[in-house]
Amino acid sequence: MPERRTVALVTLGCARNEVDSEELAGRLEADGWQLVEDAADADVAVVNTCGFVEAAKKDSVDALLEANDLKDHGRTQAVVAVGCMAERYGKELAEALPEADGVLGFDDYADISDRLQTILSGGIHASHTPRDRRKLLPVSPAERQESAVSVALPGHGPADLPEGVAPASGPRAPLRRRLDGTPVASVKLASGCDRRCSFCAIPSFRGSFISRRPSDVLNETRWLAEQGVKEIMLVSENNTSYGKDLGDIRLLESLLPELAEVDGLERVRVSYLQPAEMRPGLIDVLTSTPKVAPYFDLSFQHSAPDVLRAMRRFGDTDRFLELLDTIRSKAPEAGVRSNFIVGFPGESEADLAELERFLNGARLDAIGVFGYSDEEGTEAATYGDKLDEDLVAERLARVSRLAEDLVSQRAEERLGETVRVLVESVDEEEGVYGRAAHQAPETDGQVLLTSGAGLGVGRMVEAKVVGTEGVDLVAEPLTGSLACSEEAGR
């Protein structure tokens, strides 16, 4: 019997890429490939790249080069690039990086097994020619669902497949194979984006916005819960638009309570929310539904009106603060995070001061700050009045220092709060770590529990916040919560 072909998936970038990697893993395993964790143990290393900003592109290239080095020292025979950077640049990336044995676009995902086998056998699969994926679906959202059957949508795999395609879990097994044993998993709610922010190239290579059907999201969530997942995070380029192409812009408000009722699930989290699209009904559901985290990942980007208009965005400092006040009037403990761009073309000192005014009043739990840089193909890249790179770096350092101080202060405000912590790691030397409802995976800090007796990964623990370490919390498990965890572990 011939030895099974082996493949390793190396994932960079956002949670959406993680979902795409697990879909690729499901397709490959269904076709007889053996999945391995270490690229050095694989016949083929597949690198799922990120193409969002320059730093992410550099990380992707570095990962491809690192995987290529394994061809001289390990089992690896081929290195293949997939993901956003591969989709965005196609042949250009292949020519600039001959170390990659293949550069595959989203259209290749359905035939990923054949593509890898061709490359592994020494054949050549032509790198795709990039195209504006916004043009693949109708302009009218109402007409997109019917057309979507002919368009590659990573992470939108069918919800029902023949036996053997995914681990046995009945008829709702999705086209997906989990690549880690963590108690948290992301679920694609939609793909693409209809917004035209002047600094962002994502819609051009991810396409127009299209929702997954609620039944597919529910089925995948049930399957994940059967695999031991305790928290799901709904991801897309813009979750607040969910349902608009299905005839109901309020579909998320009805879907969230259904997801929260899935057996075995402890927490549902929603990411990627647009402030300009927040609705009173959505705020109500996010702040009052049991098991739905009162968590708001709001894409503010800036707060000075002139900068926001140049970004093709909406709002201002006072309207944003009013939105946060509304959220906290309903859920004082709600978690809020956001990202900001400083040094945008034309940004004045007064604009920067306005952003600082917002940050000082917003009480955000987590803040990401980025310095502006041109992204090819975007409107902002054509703007004049660009700021000097040294000035951008100076403003980035200034706002980053402020952000670090502010999130530490916000963490200190939580002293004495009771939080529900999902345990994610247990180590005799390092201790027991998890996340509270206001903390998303990998981005928003974590909680160190002062006692780990009887606790295991995946447990949900009630704990009192007794200390802080920057953005991180230190919490003491409540006696009753530990007792429940110990009983559940028997």
Q: Residue 434 forms beta bridges with which residues?
A: 423, 447
Which positions ≥6 away from 447 have C-beta within 8 Å?
419, 421, 433, 434, 435, 436, 439, 463, 465, 472, 473, 474, 475
What amino acid occupies position 72?
D
The length of the chain, given as a count of residues: 490
E-strand ranges in 17-113 read 34-35, 44-49, 78-82, 102-103
The alpha carbon torsion through 41, 43, 48, 49 (nearest 10 deg) reads 90
Give Cβ neighbours of residue 135 (< 8 Å, ≥ 6 apart): none
Binding residues: 14, 50, 84, 193, 197, 200
3-class DSSP state of 155? coil
Binding residues for [4Fe-4S] cluster: 14, 50, 84, 193, 197, 200
Q: What is the DSSP string of 164-233?
A: TSSSSBTBT--S---SS--SEEEEE-EE------TT--HHHHH-S-EEPPHHHHHHHHHHHHHTT--EEE
Beta bridge pairs of residue 370: 341
Q: 3-class DSSP state for residue 77? A: coil
User: How far apart are the C-alpha atoms of 298 and 340, rounded to whole Å?
Assistant: 10
Phi, psi of 434 (to 5 degrees): -155, -165
Determine the longest span between alpha carbons in the chain, in angstroms. Answer: 71
Q: Which run of H or E residues covers position 249?
A: none
- Joined together, the tokens standing for residue 470 give 């920057």
Angle, nearest 10°, between helix axes 280-288 and 317-330? 40
Structure tokens at 41: 């143990």
